[in-house]
Structure 1
Amino acid sequence: MRTLHEALAQCRTLVVEGPDGIGRGALLAEVARAGFAIRHSRGHLHHVDPTRPYRELLSAPGRLAVDGGIIHELVYGPLRRGHSRVTWIQALDFAEAVAARNGALLQLARSGRAADAESAEAAEAYARAFRTLAQHAPVVTVAMVGTADTSGPEGPGPPIRTPDTSTHQRARYVRKLTVR
């Protein structure tokens, strides 16, 4: 799967992730028109198991799109607090759960240059995170035109441009467990 339209046609689950202010409203509206139920995180991450609310969302039947938060925490936690409340093991397990549900991660990326230092650092951190997660779940990169979302999650946002090919391809991953 290489484009947003292929993901909409082939996936049962989509996790939408991207930097602050990217303007995801138009994308979420398009995903909803394709028959996905849109679910947002319910606020702050759980203090013991930050991925639990997302795993609970993944247990719902039907086509589901989750307006992410786990990768956001991996990126902005270290930038803003010096650490992430989500571990890489938790993030990789979540990515595998998305893949097991016939899903993909949608990486929203800004077209053009970052407006400030934090935005540039966040863009680099997202790229690293998605490269790692692509070993566990399909990743489709969606280049977003514009940088601000002034409409909220349901209203119109900036136009969406889908690339011809994803910058990340799914790699097969098999976790080997040793029982002693």
Structure 2
Amino acid sequence: MILHQALAQCRTLVVEGPDGVGRSALIAQLTRHGFEIRRSRGHLHHVDPIRPYRELLAAPGRLAVDGSIIHELVYGPLRRGCSRVTWIQALDFAEAVAERDGALIHVTGGADDTEAVGAYERAFRTLAQHAPVVTFDARDEGEVGEAARPSHGPAPPPCPQLRRCTQTLTIG
């Protein structure tokens, strides 16, 4: 699945990537495609860190979630030595996104922290077993719908089974 397919087919997009990669620009452009931008308020819940995200996913309509679950999986161990989110919780979250006809958007490009970049790649590779993952290079210019389109030929056909389409593709 590539980004323009996700824009057309998904009700939920979770946007995540390393600090400094430029997620904000992508998130802002998603509003032009009919997505309501949602963020979890405050810190992760101390007992059930996924709870605020389950509540976000319960909302109606098309949602773009500025994710911090994956952020915690990556930066928790790098900054504190451990994550407050377990892999079981993260995989449950990924499955909830897929059940809501959603995808995880892995924003890449421009991040300086190579350790975090590698950790994000490993995290998304694992999460791709439970939800579709689209890799989007934030260095691409232009509108999201245009930057995500292949430069040659027509767009590929839609993924026949969105929930089971777990191929990760790099755009750009």
TM over 0.5: yes
In 1, Cα distance between equivalents of 2:41 and 2:22: 19
TM-score (norm 2): 0.82
Assess if the C-alpha contact under 8 Å between 2:39 and 2:67 holds in 1: yes
Q: Structure 1 counterpart of 2:19, which letter?
A: D
Assess if the C-alpha contact under 8 Å between 2:75 and 2:116 holds in 1: yes
In 1, Cα distance between equivalents of 2:131 and 2:73: 16
1:23-172, aligned counterparts within 5 Å? Answer: 23-110=22-109, 115=112, 119-145=113-139, 161-162=147-148, 164=150, 170=166
In 1, Cα distance between equivalents of 2:68 and 2:25: 18
In 2, Cα distance between equivalents of 1:10 and 1:18: 22
Q: Which runs of 5+ in 2 are unaligned?
A: 151-155, 157-164, 168-172
Distance 1:71 1:51, change over 3 A: same
| 1:6 counterpart residue number | 5
Q: Structure 1 counterpart of 2:132, which letter?
A: P
| Structure 1 runs, 4 residues or longer, greater than 3 Å off | 158-165
Assess if the C-alpha contact under 8 Å between 1:17 and 1:72 holds in 2: yes
In 2, Cα distance between equivalents of 1:21 and 1:41: 19
Q: Structure 2 counterpart of 1:20, which letter?
A: D
TM-score (norm 1): 0.78
Size of the aligned set, in residue pairs, is 151
In 2, Cα distance between equivalents of 1:141 and 1:20: 16
| 2:20 counterpart residue number | 21
In 2, Cα distance between equivalents of 1:18 and 1:163: 20
Q: Structure 2 counterpart of 1:32, which letter?
A: T
Give the C-alpha shift of residue 51 in structure 1.
0.5
Root mean square deviation, CA, Å: 1.9
Assess if the C-alpha contact under 8 Å between 1:143 and 1:162 holds in 2: no
Identify the structure with the greater helix proportion.
Answer: 2
In 2, Cα distance between equivalents of 1:63 and 1:23: 22
In 1, Cα distance between equivalents of 2:39 and 2:20: 16
Q: Which runs of 5+ in 1 are unaligned?
A: 147-157, 172-180
Percent identity, please. 70
| 2:162 counterpart residue number | none
Assess if the C-alpha contact under 8 Å between 2:4 and 2:149 holds in 1: no
Q: Structure 1 counterpart of 2:117, which letter?
A: A
Distance 1:96 1:85, change over 3 A: same
